[in-house]
Amino acid sequence: MTQDAMSVRQWQERYRAGAFHSKEVAVQHEAGWWNWHCRDDALAGRLTRIAPVIMGLNEPALLDEFTVWFINEVGRDKLVYDSVRFEPLAGSRDDAKFFKVDFCGLDEPDRWTLYTGRFSLHAPEFGCGHVHDMTKYIDNLGRELKQGIRPAFLDEKAAAVEYILRRGAILPSRALRREGEHSYSFLDRDDGRRKTVHVARSPEDVLPEAQGFGGREINGLYVYCPEDAGLPLPAHVPQRPKSSSKKKGVER
């Protein structure tokens, strides 16, 4: 991050003063647009639509220690959507603290979708339809990152991932979506269905409607998938061959 990068607080102040309202490309570049696939004169309007998720933040750890920048992504059928990225001002890129918010992303049902380095940059940690819910969640995220708090759902996710990898499946999948408290979902590549994995602290915490379904204890957590009822878990998990293709990163 360059020394002249704006903090989120400075960005809020300049946006509130009207510094980024012009359609001039130089102004929009200064506002933080890094890459885009839309018309140049559309950037100002797109900034207005995504700005509320920045303007609604109040956590000092975010306002003074992070900066923001924007990308206009192109997806299927050449449709575009906007994304704001947050990263620390000081030091080199810390992927654990990096996070981004997509506005009306093409592959997610929610209007606002949050991806974080601590959960996954390829599967959402949180999604919602109202910007106020998103800014509240991000403010809490900022406090957790500042204080080094590891949320419990990261341990739940690790247990759910291990469950998925040890399922009896021909084409295992690692990708997980967080579906609220203690629940996650994954796309079963064998049958094309999205399935739910629940994680409980003990068998007594299993949801009443899921009682009787088979489960597995993993790292002290009880993991079960109702759709997998009666499906045996193999004792040995075969290693998949490594792909020769490089993973697409999130470099600026």
> Residues 132-187: pLDDT tens digits?
999 999 999 999 999 999 998 999 999 998 888 887 777 777 678 888 888 898 88
Per-residue pLDDT, 230: 53
What's the confidence (pLDDT) of residue 154? Answer: 93
Residue 108 has pLDDT above 90, yes or no: no
> Which pTM was predicted?
0.80
| 130 token code pair | 């109202």
**Section 44-49 average pLDDT:** 96
* pLDDT of res. 94: 67
Q: What is the pLDDT of residue 165?
A: 84
Number of residues that make up the chain: 252
Tokens linked to 10: 């400075």
Higher pLDDT, residue 1 or 69:
69
Question: Could you tell me if residue 73 is left (phi over 0), alpha (psi between -120 and 50 degrees) or otherwise beta?
Answer: beta
Q: How does strand 221-224 pair with strand 193-200?
A: antiparallel
Q: What is the pLDDT of residue 244?
A: 36
Do the strands 66-74 and 215-218 form a parallel or antiparallel pair, or are they unpaired? unpaired
Mean model confidence pLDDT for the chain: 83
For the record, the structure tokens of 54 come out as 């920045």
Q: Where are the alpha helices (DSSP H) in the chain?
A: 8-16, 25-31, 43-50, 52-55, 60-65, 131-147, 152-165
pLDDT confidence of residue 21: 95
Q: What's the whole-number mean pLDDT along residues 107-119? A: 90
pLDDT at 102 over 80: yes
Read off the pLDDT band of 248 (50, 70, 90): very low
Give the full edge-to-edge strand order of the sheet including 126-128. 33-35, 66-74, 80-88, 99-103, 112-116, 126-128
Question: For 242, how many CA atoms within 13 A lie in the half-sphere containing its CB?
Answer: 3
Confidence class for position 84, pLDDT limits 50, 70, 90? very high
Could you tell me the pLDDT band of residue 117, with boundaries at 50, 70 and 90? very high
How far apart are the C-alpha atoms of 220 and 185, rounded to whole Å?
Answer: 20
pLDDT on residue 252: 37
